[in-house]
Amino acid sequence: MAMAAQTIVAENLTLTGSIGVVTGKFNLEKLYERIGFNKEIISRGRYAELTAAEQRPFRADEAELFAKSAQSAYRSFRDKAASSRSMTVDKMEEVAQGRVWTGNDAAARGLVDAVGGLSRAVAIAKQKANLPLDKQVVMENHAFTVRSHVNITCTLVKADKAFKELLQVMASSDVVQARMDGIMMEQLDGDSYANVIFRLIKDYLSSL
């Protein structure tokens, strides 16, 4: 999120980097077998079921295509990070590949410009804005909630209506109860969740 900034400040133990791509699809084959659910897809086109067929694993050709797509996304991410940090692609590759660094390690590898906290970042911002270091500034906190992350995720993956609504419910702490032995999804009944897959998953998880 910060890679295009002119100056990046990190604390000593800030987790930085993670320049990589994690992707895949759910394979619910075993779950469907256990709850007695069968799904068949009528499709047209060789890769029409690439991510839609969650009842089976990828075919070999689908896995190859998906891997190529992930590699393409990774290279795009890596190259943009390299450009933003004024590094060669080869140099960025040495610190990318999904690796995570502490703030100190990131500074040593050129991923951040300075090590410090909020006061250090404010001081640098004042310097760049030609403001006296002793000038008082007002800090505004713009909360970034879990629901905001969900909205961004839905936009990026172009999620359908049912999936968006499921994520919104799961983002609400008052309707999700996490347990050591499973996850219980509550309040998924009603017209908004007419999708039979969500109902079956909900019923299965509720029985754990």
DSSP secondary structure letter of residue 58: P
Per-residue pLDDT band for 187 (boundaries 50, 70, 90) equals very low
Query: Is 176 exposed, middle or buried, given 0-12, 13-18 or 19+ CB atoms closer than 10 A?
Result: middle
- Give me the pLDDT at residue 194, please: 47
What are the DSSP E strand ranges found in the chain? Answer: 9-10, 16-17, 100-101, 114-115, 176-179, 182-185
Per-residue pLDDT at 125 exceeds 50: yes
- Give me the pLDDT at residue 112, please: 94
- Give me the pLDDT at residue 22, please: 87
Per-residue pLDDT band for 44 (boundaries 50, 70, 90) equals confident
Per-residue pLDDT band for 175 (boundaries 50, 70, 90) equals very low
CA distance 187 to 171: 13
Q: CB under 8 Å to 118, separation ≥6 — which residues?
A: 139
pTM: 0.62
Q: Give residue 102's Cα distance to chain centre.
A: 20
Dihedral angle sign, alpha carbons of residues 113, 118, 124, 129: positive
- The mean of the pLDDT values for the chain is 78
